[in-house]
A and B are shown apart, each in its own frame.
Chain A
Amino acid sequence: MTAASYFTGSDEAGSAATLKDDERRERLAIAGLSLPALLLVAVCLIIPVGSLLALSFIGAQGNLSLENYQRLIDNKAYLAIFLTTFEISAVITLICMLLGYPLAYFITLLPPRAVGFAMLAIILPFWTSLLVRTYAWMVLLQKQGLVNSTLLKLGVIDEPIALLHNYAGTVIGMSHIMLPFLVLPLYGAMKAIDHDLIRAAANLGAGPIVRFWTVSFPLSLPGLGAGALIVFVLSLGFYVTPALLGGGKVTMVAMRIQKSVALYPNWGAASALAVVLLVVTALVLLLGLWIWRRNRGNRPVMS
């Protein structure tokens, strides 16, 4: 026991070395407390993902081959699926930025008491079942749904438009699900802006628009970038919402993976697609990290 040997500390000469040894042993023992969690992640994540990686390099005859990846390149259908996935994810990210920016800015302007309530409007949907929210959009977007009937009443449209089981439905539903992921980091960045900088700019004669574009907006960019990155990456791998709101007209990578496993049992194709999805996700995240690091290094010191 460390405490005990510390207090007795009989042999003076060896005590320094013993202490150091004890400390190292203790650090290892504490580190060992993370082993059960690591074991769980290894069994339920690393081994499954590793197996898929291995499977993707095994051909139809059970030999080592690149044919699963070759097929992804040869078959133009796969390229189209990847392009659709990228396009939908980009559109959703853009919509979330356009809706999320005013919302996050609005919350920074509220008196402290009201901030908690406004945050509830973001956290509540964030923690509500994805399926429930997808289902709610199925009800709202149907032909006789609230969205169509409101638009009819307002005279924007003459007859109900198809908003469900197509591209529009997928984008609307997914944007709603992703919005909190963008607002939370963005609000964090905006809240951290030093108010004295704005005051200084105002004192020097900059008007509200100039102040926004030259001071507030650049300082909120790291938060906007982080949020946009999360939204984009999560959208790339989305399955449930496009499967239900797309009505078979929209095929994203994750839906194709599900089909390869559940319909044909073709593990080679499914695992190769999953590996490509993982690599693309990792590359996008690394790119984001790289840009963030570079900008942090270049930014003039403000404090």
Chain B
Amino acid sequence: MIRWLTSPAWDQVAHYRRLWLYAIAILVMIILVAPTLIVIPMSFSDSKYLTFPPTGWSLGWYRTFFESSTWLMATKTSLLVAVFTVLVATPLGTLAAYAIHESRLAAMSGVHAVLLSPMMVPVIMVAIGLYFIYARLELLNTKLGLVLAHAMLAIPLVVITVLAGLKTYDMNQERVARSLGAPRWLAFWTVTLPQIRPAILNAVLLSFLTSLDEVNVALFISGGENSTVTRVMFNSLRDEIDPLITVVSTCLVLVSVTIVLVVQLANRKSHQ
């Protein structure tokens, strides 16, 4: 420890001379992480009032959550929509990434740009545009409408992740398989796919999370018995704060933490 403190860092300044910088940075890190974690102890509070730290402990809010048909229905909708978003976005995005990577047509850079565009357009514009179109297609307040919208929002993520995976992979392996007589799809399925599996896993997990946490679009196009958790939560936060939100928040945070840890570990493994 002492040797580390007195040794110079890459910028030729010894670590101990910069403890002030470390103090600031650690404070910023605490500010970044702490607010997401305080909801967890709050969900076990026995108080009706949202105080932190809680004064007493109970599982009461969890019981109320499982007795609330509104929240249970919303949870079911959100989970179903997230699963189907993954099932739509992952194959479509993977095929498109393969096409961008392998087809050396000049037009593919345009295709790439179009597929990344859902990240560029202000999300409020996407939301009201979908609201306008879905009203005409009778897709408002349907799970199908939500799945299509969320899959569109997840496409850039899948394309970026899978393209990154393909770049680290030696495409000659697939060419060898094909020169030995395997059709392209078989060569892709048996040779390429197993090797870009970490990238695909990232794409699956992150598109699941994108759909589960998506709020702007869901606010406009979901409703009734197909309301998502985020929509119910937003309305509750705007009107009167329902303590059940701590339970929902805790679940959402735990899903995020799990997924981020799995992705990080998978990435570390694939780097080794």
Contact = CB atoms under 8 A, between A and B. Distances in A.
Do A and B interact with each other, yes or no?
yes
16 contacts: A27-B105, A30-B103, A44-B151, A45-B118, A45-B152, A48-B129, A129-B230, A142-B50, A216-B11, A236-B122, A239-B127, A240-B216, A244-B238, A267-B132, A274-B125, A285-B120
A254 B133 CA distance: 19
Interface in B67-108: 88, 92-93, 95-96, 98-100, 102-105, 107-108
B161 interface: no
B93 to A, nearest CB: 6
Interface residues of A, number: 93
A281 to B, nearest CB: 6
B53 to A, nearest CB: 8
B56 interface: no
Given A38-B115, A130-B213, A136 B36 contact: yes
Given A27-B105, A123-B260, 9 more contacts: A40-B88, A44-B130, A47-B133, A131-B215, A135-B249, A139-B52, A180-B32, A236-B122, A239-B216
Contacts of A55: 132
B148 interface: yes
Contacts of A30: 98-99, 102-103
B124 A277 contact: yes
A153 to B, nearest CB: 14
A195 B10 CA distance: 6
B124 A38 contact: no
A13 interface: no
B152 A116 contact: no
A51 interface: yes
B237 interface: yes
Interface in B10-44: 10-13, 15, 18, 21-22, 24-26, 28-29, 31-33, 35-36, 38-39, 42
A83 interface: no
* A interface: dominant SS: helix
Contacts, number: 265
Contacts of A146: 38, 52
Interface in B152-180: 152, 155, 159, 178-179
Contacts of A5: none
B59 interface: no
Interface in B113-159: 114-115, 117-118, 120-133, 148-149, 151-152, 155, 159
B181 interface: yes
B36 A128 contact: yes
B191 interface: no
Contacts of B272: none
B132 A48 contact: yes
A281 B216 CA distance: 18
Contacts of A44: 130, 148-149, 151-152
Interface of A: 1, 3, 27-28, 30-34, 36-38, 40-41, 43-49, 51-52, 55, 99-100, 102-103, 105-109, 111, 116, 118-125, 127-140, 142, 144-146, 176, 179-180, 193, 195, 198-199, 202, 208, 211-212, 216, 236-237, 239-240, 243-244, 253-254, 257-258, 261, 267, 270-271, 274, 277-278, 281-282, 285
A31 B132 contact: no
Contact of B268 (A116, A130, A208, A216): A116
B216 A37 contact: no
A145 B102 CA distance: 55
B96 A37 contact: yes
A136 B38 contact: yes
B245 interface: yes
B257 to A, nearest CB: 7
A176 B26 CA distance: 15
A257 B128 contact: yes
A99 B209 contact: no
B195 interface: no
Contacts of B181: 3
B12 A38 contact: no
B217 to A, nearest CB: 9
A28 B106 CA distance: 11
B183 interface: yes
Contacts of A282: 120
A49 B215 contact: no
A28 B104 CA distance: 9
Contacts of A243: 238
A124 B256 contact: yes
Given A44-B130, A52-B129, A109-B15, A134 B237 contact: yes
Nearest to A201: B12
Contact of B128 (A33, A106, A124, A261): A261
A237 B253 contact: no
Contacts of B216: 239-240
Given A38-B96, A132-B249, A49 B126 contact: yes
A144 B47 CA distance: 14
